[in-house]
Amino acid sequence: MTINLKPDSGIALLRAEYTFPFIGLLRAAGAPVDSELQRARLPALIEELPDAFVSTDLIFRFIEQASRRVGIDNIGFDAGWKLRYEDLGPALTSAINQAPNLRVAIETFSRLVLQEDSECRCYLEDRGEQTRICVQQYIPAGADTRIAEWQNIKAVIEVIRQYQQPGWLPRAVGLLSRQTPKSAERDRLGDIKVLTGQPDTFIEIPTTLLEQPRPLSGEHFPQRPNHGAICSCTSDLSRYENDLPSRLRSALIPYLASGNPGIELAAKIAGTSVRKLQRILDQRQTSYSELLETLRYEQALHLLRHTDLKILDIALSLGYSDASNFARTVRRISGSSPRELRSNG
């Protein structure tokens, strides 16, 4: 079974919006989602921050534990089939919408999916008259592979449906897991042939389908909803290098509004001890407090220059108790007030 190794940084990141179908199903089943999020050390405001990045390891832990407590066996199937094209990130869908045919669309998806999931890989496997679109995904050690596989399959299906009919389905799919779909799941899959115990997740399509041109009218492409979240996340992991401080700063953004994320949380996200994290940061001539202060300042600068949010709202979204405290910190770092930074942007 091919499962991606964890990145060199030790931190695998996933766009928060991909967790929303799981959270919705858990709430419907009566799970105490808020306390489960807290137990898993995930951001309390995760549902308000679709474009934030969260730890893949913590997400898997949350989904497994919460679904087990309410007796859901395979939440991955139902959550996967809830994924819509417009749930993909804006940079990803915008690029796919410009593709002249399905082959280019899949190649675009393969190139940009890393902006959504830091450890996800997609590639085409030519099998003559048939082509497999394969997806490799980092799975935490010991985690249930079924959590991710159907969502990966549905993401690729949604891309293809932009060049086919809305209800299009592939002739065959491959799963990492060895468990065959149950009868209720089988009914929803129609005539799809399901191959279990495969080295990678995949869907199989006729090779000729890859040359299918895009629809003449752009109206075929659905629009992404405006979530209106107060967050400077950009749904682009290419901004963050694969080293621990860079990935950690990205993962900490959605925690800022809830206060001061402690170093114990940071170590949990990084999958290491507090002492080792301190040593790593010291080797890069910084400290955890300096990393947090720099992160907050970068977020403040982005929000001041690229949004019309009130300064108080920006301060609160970054965990400051009031606008005055925020202004003092900004002036100490930059020598300018928040208003001056906004006007000079």
Contact 270/224 with Cβ under 8 angstroms? no
Place of tokens 């393969």: 110
Q: How far apart are CA 156 and CA 198, in angstroms?
A: 17
Strand partners, 138: 4
The answer to whether the CB of 43 falls within 8 A of the CB of 49 is yes
**Helix (H) or strand (E) segment spanning residue 55:** strand 53-55
Q: Is 285 exposed, middle or buried (0-12, 13-18, 19+ CB in 10 A)?
A: exposed
Residue spans of the domains in the chain: they are 13-212, 243-343
Q: Each residue's pLDDT tens digit in the chain (345 positions)?
A: 445 566 767 899 999 999 999 999 999 999 999 999 999 999 998 999 999 999 999 999 999 999 999 999 899 999 999 999 999 999 999 999 999 999 999 999 999 998 899 999 999 999 999 999 999 989 998 899 999 999 999 999 999 999 998 889 999 999 999 988 888 888 888 899 999 999 999 999 999 999 989 876 544 555 555 444 445 444 445 555 568 888 999 999 999 988 889 999 999 999 999 999 999 999 999 999 999 999 999 999 999 999 999 999 999 999 898 999 999 999 999 999 999 999 886
Residue type, 133: I
Place of tokens 């086919």: 164
Residue 337, classed as helix, strand or coil, is: coil
Residue 35: both structure tokens together: 């306390």
Nearest to 201 by CA among 221, 175, 224: 175
Give the CATH class of 13-212: alpha beta
Q: Can you spell out the DSSP letters for 185-213?
A: HHHHHTT-EEE-S-SSEEEEEEGGGGGPB
Distance between CA atoms of residues 316 and 326, nearest Å:
9
CA distance 1 to 149: 13
162 close to 215: Cβ distance less than 8 angstroms: yes
Rounded-to-integer distance, Cα 296 and Cα 338, Å: 13
* pLDDT for the residue 43: 94
CATH code that applies to domain 243-343: 1.10.10.60
In total, the chain counts a number of residues equal to: 345
133: burial class by Cβ within 10 Å (0-12, 13-18, 19+)?
buried
In DSSP terms, 193 is beta-bridged to 172
The token duo for 312 is 């108080």
Query: Tokens 């942007």 sit at which residue?
Result: 345
